[in-house]
Structure 1
């Protein structure tokens, strides 16, 4: 019997309420009937991916721009294909809703040996695996569906991390009541007494310091506190640096921005300014090996005031609950504005080479490529940089105001950014998306090019062809065969993956050839652009050259 309003309708209504307009995934017999509801739901577009891992990556990219994302796969085989992508979202605080179509409740209750299972009559193996990489999980029944859907979605909303929903194929179409009210987020609030105590005890510490610095990170982006960070910097006059994972959290053209901090691999002025600071206000930043030059920072933790999404920590004391937003607003009004001359602020724009870029009759090299790319970027672009040469070249490259940056320095799953590009572009078609990815990473997830062309998105893709895993060669096994990959004819791939899709492709080896490709990309507003940039396999951005040595020592 077909009911007018069902569990599937309820789930889709709640996802739509969160602003989700696209559902990523791969069909399987345990989710096919639910996908009919997705197809028929007004305002929800089904985006079929080439595999479940790519779907999870695409959902991650979508959520970083849109705020939330969802993907649907079948039970067992589909779930486990997607779990690596979900783990990355968990590690980097990206809110993704993972929906797994499951066998009927009768099959599960009777412990039948059906396909996509381990043949032991147990059906909770995979949901238990997801407990490690999601903040909430549920198995929906007709009786609990509405309450459980709301519970896990609120956890996703609050904690900015993935959740897992198991949806049996005989439950999605059971009757349900429409939501009586909007999904009620239990918005985190600060305790005013604790907030007052924090202000009274930490404001003097900041006011008395003479070499204060702000160190910001990716949680500023995830919790949408960019405006509060900007206001905090403007009111206090304190210089701002960021970890590379937090690029986009602060305007890099701002006169108080002093660069991207990378421990001892930072520029000398920046390293000294941070490591010798007598007060570091760490806002939404989690130092990792990839973002601190292999933990090579030298500042004292006793000088750090750490502002997290829900607490403030300093001098071995924790003030909670206090939200990041409330902490920034309150401190902005209390801290005495610093004298810029005493703070020794040298803006990033004054530190870098001011000479205009002029293309030469030479082969393209990594450092020159990123220098040129910095001029190519525009305000409001979305820049995706794959882990490896692309990420570490882009990490210190100045980006324009209101640029969003997507990378994965903590989880570091290579191939991530290519499907993530599909998600980020679908999340906002009005913004120009630019992807930087190496040939080794591209070969892991290349088939998603077919989906991009089918969806008619129009990003600009720079595929760095340096003949293998350059970042791995730099760490270990420079000439070992495990760091080699087959050579592909990359510029022909759009035609192979989607004969009816439209794109423009270029293969460039020199700076002058790159200029021609960039001009064509600037003028192309109708199709996907793929620019293959050939570079020597041993050529590396300066930051990666140094960091790879740190990683090599770290692995001993």
Structure 2
């Protein structure tokens, strides 16, 4: 069957269950976008800029499994770099397609717009090499080998890929030999590694699992829970990977964040003699400046393409293989471990006093519903939210490793549009909101209905806690946040809430639960220097770490 290369690429993308494509039009991708909007099985979601598009694609992939976006050559391509780098760091598979000048233009080295005026056309592709798992330059001759190759790499590695698509190639017809489908991967012999873990556990008196973000990336929640349940091993989560383990499980003991962890969690993990680090990275922010006290020699690294135990390492084993092998292991732990105390009823008083961060998050705990998607911006919101008690069906989205402020607002666009049946709650601060605020306009155009809580505490609170508490570089211009829906052209579809006290926050909660057919924008005003306790402590850690 004859198809244009662009049509074939979209067929392959749709075979991965991607039905929304994010991006910004530009003259080097316009003809390709015609193929996108002509499809009945795919929707174009145009963004206000490529950075927002990359964040939205990331959020979509965290719910849907994979995502795709389209930019134009150079200016658009590089505007998306920050978002794609974040997806790479946190293992989120985003297909970044760049519409490029024609092959004739490239081969002739012409000085066309969006180039550097040097006649080179591979500079930007080289910039993508460190932040994507693989890259491809598509031609009519290689389309049916290169496109499947890069899409399979994105799926298998759960990381972004970059596709360079000259606009004349997108429009050229090819004879499609067969439809794309993911090929089965070859299994590795992992018996030796599983036996090593087994021996480690057999000799241990206090085993523990530290679970992290790769469990979310590879959707291995059921496999991890089965392993913990059948082997009776307790599980602690890192903040980098919140949601990796069912917090309703009797084997969940809580969040481990180094010296900041609850005493019983910190003491148990630090004193463990067999730590299975499954899909987790012990980063500075996840461990409060590497403040763990356990012996790294007692840690077995069980990550994707990264097995390490003592002097034995392997970089070819996939995380799903490792978990399958662990589940087939004959072992059962019989030692005691601390029990996680789920938060049921929070102790707070509804009054007309100024709202504090402590009360705000206590009240947020009561507002969360079992199927909600919670997005917490890397600021006061994240440090207050990662200790929230979640249900099995909740999804938690943050970006604590890459930590690009402004990420969660466009990410909410992506996560909400990926599944409109689930309520999305965005917790974000005013400084972060100002970076990517145009995403609200796209949300309104797409008629999605997330609930956005904007903490207005007049500046960059995380930075204040690290250095320069009163320095002007941590100040921002005060906006009238409640006017944003009107500025973006439509305010009737958005309910706006002005919150200064706990009574007003509860009234906003009540109205949100009544008006489920609307988007809600809640401005929550709090004192400039008020912050969650963990952020206060983490600020000291980062200040010390920075010298």
For normalisation by structure 1, the TM-score amounts to 0.95
In structure 2, the residue corresponding to 1:282 is in which secondary structure? strand
Work out whether 1:258 is the aligned partner of 2:253: yes
Match of 1:433 in 2: 424
**Structure 2 match to 1:367:** 358
How far apart, in 2, do the equivalents of 1:76 and 1:531 lie? Answer: 37
- Cα displacement (A) at 1:355: 5.1
CA distance in 2, matches of 1:396, 1:179: 52
Q: State the partner residue of 1:159.
A: 157
Quick one: which of 3, 19, 22 aligns to 2:20?
22
The Cα of 1:4 is off from its aligned counterpart by: 5.8
Q: Is the 8 A contact 2:2 2:176 kept in 1?
A: no
Offset of residue 202 of structure 1: 2.6
Q: Secondary structure at the match of 2:402?
A: coil
More displaced 10-residue stretch of structure 1: 287-296 or 324-333: 324-333
Worse overlay, 303-312 or 242-251: 303-312
Change (3 A) 1:333 1:36: closer
Match in the other structure for 1:404: 395
Deviating more after overlay: 311-320 vs 129-138: 311-320
For the pair 1:316 / 2:314, whether they are aligned, the reply is no
**1:109-162 Cα shifts (integer Å, max 9, x gaps):** 111111111111111111111112111111212222222111111111111111
Query: CA-to-partner distance for each residue in 1:214-260, whole Å, 9 max, x for gaps?
Result: 11000011111100111011111111100012111111122221111
Residues 1:334 and 2:325 are matched in the alignment: no
| TM-aligned CA deviation for residue 98 of structure 1 | 0.6
Equivalenced residues, count: 547
Give the CA deviation at 1:208.
Answer: 2.4
Q: Deviations over 1:366-394 (max 9, x none)?
A: 12111111111112211110001011111
**For 1:170, what is the secondary structure of its paired residue?**
helix
Counterpart in the other structure of 1:222: 217
Which piece of structure 1 moves more, 363-372 or 25-34? 363-372
Deviation at 1:357, TM superposition (A): 4.4
3-state SS, counterpart of residue 164 of structure 2: strand
Shift of 1:333: 4.1
Match of 1:231 among 220, 226, 231: 226
Structure 2 residue aligned with 1:345: 338
User: How far apart, in 2, do the equivalents of 1:407 and 1:449 lie?
Assistant: 18
**Out of 531, 535, 538, which is 1:540 matched to?**
531
**CA distance, structure 2, for counterparts of residue 454 and residue 4 of structure 1:** 36
Corresponding residue to 1:140 among 138, 141, 162: 138
Q: 2:459 matched to which residue of 1?
A: 468
For residues 170-319 of structure 1, the aligned pairs below 5 Å read 170-191=168-189, 195-310=190-305, 312-318=307-313
Q: What is the aligned partner in structure 2 of residue 482 from structure 1?
A: 473
- What is the CA–CA distance in structure 2 between the aligned matches of 1:35 and 1:355, rounded to whole Å? 50
Per-residue CA deviation, residues 338-372 of structure 1 (Å, 9 max, x unaligned), is 23xx32322232xx685554423322111211111
TM superposition shift of 1:500: 6.4
Partner of residue 549, structure 1: 540
Question: Unaligned 5+ residue runs, structure 1?
Answer: none
Note if contact 1:263-1:293 (Cα within 8 Å) is conserved in structure 2: yes
Instruction: Describe the superposition over 1:509-553 as per-residue Cα deviations: whole angstroms up to 9, x where unpaired.
Output: 100000000011112221111111101110010111100000001
Q: List aligned pairs for 1:488-527, cutoff 5 A.
A: 488-499=479-490, 502-527=493-518
* Structure 2 unaligned spans of 5+: none
> What displacement does 1:431 show?
0.9
1:434-453 matched pairs, under 5 angstroms: 434-453=425-444
RMSD across aligned positions (CA): 1.6
Taking the aligned partners of 2:31 and 2:358, their CA distance within structure 1 comes to: 51
Give 1:310 deviation, angstroms: 3.9
Compared CA separation, residues 355 and 135, structure 1 to 2 (3 A): closer
Q: Distance in 1 between matches of 2:432 and 2:186?
A: 39
- Give, in angstroms, the shift of residue 408 of structure 1: 0.6
* Equivalent residue, structure 2, for 1:528: 519
The structural deviation recorded for 1:200 is: 3.1
Q: Distance in 2 between matches of 1:313 and 1:130?
A: 28
> Quick one: structure 1 residues 386 and 188, their matched pair in 2 at CA, closer, same or farther if it must change by over 3 Å?
farther
Correspondences of 1:22-171 after superposition (within 5 Å): 22-171=20-169
> Is the 2:378–2:403 contact (alpha carbons within 8 Å) kept by the matching residues of 1?
yes
Name the CA shift for 1:549/1:179 in 2 (closer, same or farther; >3 Å).
farther
